[in-house]
């Protein structure tokens, strides 16, 4: 199963975008918790694109969701400034309350809920690919 | 996302239901902005989903309560919400309780 949709990369579009992801998860028959993990990975990646990708927002985010047997692939493309989220600071998740900063956590969570994350820059496009395995 | 407020003998219980994400977290930010001196228990047993945008507001609430002399604890974590709390290390600075009763008992002392 393959789904693809292009959204404006702005936070106002998130409700529709999350509905698109949820719809995919349901039709793919994912267990509820895995469906929520997929939503979390996509939300964090998309919020990052909305906030940082485009110097003159809004641009677009191209979302491709694929189920092939027990493999799920989530691919997000944007034409914003080159940005490798995997190179970003992994945030300070073990510091005390007073020292906690309010950034970096989203990308960290994104990486934790999927099995693999890859980033590449291809013909002026940021391509973020995430993979998960579904239980049989 | 729905926030319900209840008073339990001077302890404020904020119960969240639904999704606390980049879409709904501004609502919770508004609902939680006025607390500073209270002992607050956050009941998340009916929360289905949380993302970093939601954690950010919970962290801001914890900080504002600490500054104001209040306190924050969290009860009823389950499913992906529990996973997200643990992955992000929020269990390292917020007291977590399995049930609302356990959180109330601990906050009352």
**Tens of pLDDT along B34-68?**
999 999 999 999 999 999 999 999 999 999 999 99
Residue range(s) defining the domain that contains residue A91? 2-133
Average pLDDT rounded to a whole number, residues A77-88: 89
Q: What is the pLDDT of residue A86?
A: 84
- At residue A100 the predicted structure's pLDDT band, cuts being 50, 70 and 90, is low
- The domains found in chain B, sorted by start residue, are 2-103 (3.30.750.24)
The residue among A104 and A3 whose pLDDT is bigger is A3
Q: Is the pLDDT of residue A90 over 70?
A: no
What pLDDT digit, counting tens, does each position of A113-133 carry? 999 999 999 999 999 999 999
- At residue A74 the predicted structure's pLDDT band, cuts being 50, 70 and 90, is very high
- Nearest chain B residue (CA) to A93: B89
Is residue B16 within 8 A of residue B1, CB to CB? The reply is: yes
Give me the CATH number covering residue A53. 3.30.565.10
Q: What is the pLDDT of residue A53?
A: 87
Q: Is the pLDDT of residue B78 over 80?
A: yes
Average pLDDT rounded to a whole number, residues B86-96: 93
**Reduced 3-state DSSP string for chain B:** CEEEEEEECCEEEEEEEEEECCCCHHHHHHHHCCCCCCEEEEEEEEEEEECHHHHHHHHHHHHHHHHHCCEEEEECCCHHHHHHHHHCCHHHCCCEECCHHHHHHHHHC
Distance between CA atoms of A72 and B47, rounded to whole angstroms? 26
Q: pTM value?
A: 0.92
CA of A95 vs chain B CAs: smallest distance (Å): 8
Token couple for B41 = 């228990």
The residue among B81 and A97 whose pLDDT is bigger is B81
Is residue A15 within 8 A of residue B23, CB to CB? The reply is: yes
Please tell me the total count of domains within chain A. 1
- Contact between chains at B49 and A44 (C-beta distance less than 8 A): no
Q: What is the pLDDT of residue A87?
A: 82
CA of B101 vs chain A CAs: smallest distance (Å): 25
- Contact between chains at A40 and B51 (C-beta distance less than 8 A): yes
């Amino acid at each position: 199963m393959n789904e693809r949709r292009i959204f404006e990369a702005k936070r106002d579009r998130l409700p529709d975008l999350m509905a698109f992801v949820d719809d995919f998860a349901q039709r793919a028959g994912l267990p509820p918790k895995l469906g929520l993990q997929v939503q979390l990975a996509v939300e964090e990646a998309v919020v990052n694109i909305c906030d940082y990708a485009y110097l003159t927002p809004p641009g677009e985010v191209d979302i491709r969701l694929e189920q092939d047997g027990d493999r799920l692939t989530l691919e997000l493309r944007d034409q914003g400034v080159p940005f490798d989220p995997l190179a970003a600071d992994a945030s300070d998740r073990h510091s005390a309350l007073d020292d906690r900063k309010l950034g970096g956590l989203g990308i960290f969570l994104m990486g934790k809920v999927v099995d693999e994350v890859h980033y590449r820059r291809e013909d002026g496009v940021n391509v973020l690919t995430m993979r998960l395995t579904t239980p049989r | 996302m729905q926030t319900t407020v209840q008073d339990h003998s001077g302890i404020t219980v904020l119960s969240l239901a639904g999704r606390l994400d980049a879409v709904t977290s501004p609502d919770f930010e508004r609902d939680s902005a006025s607390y500073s001196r209270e002992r607050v228990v956050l009941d998340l047993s009916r929360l289905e989903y949380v993302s970093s945008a939601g954690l950010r507001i919970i962290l801001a609430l914890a900080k504002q309560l600490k500054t104001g002399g209040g306190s924050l604890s969290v009860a009823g974590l389950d499913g992906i919400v529990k996973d997200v709390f643990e992955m992000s290390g929020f269990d390292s600075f917020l007291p977590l309780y399995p049930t609302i009763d356990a959180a109330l008992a601990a906050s009352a002392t």
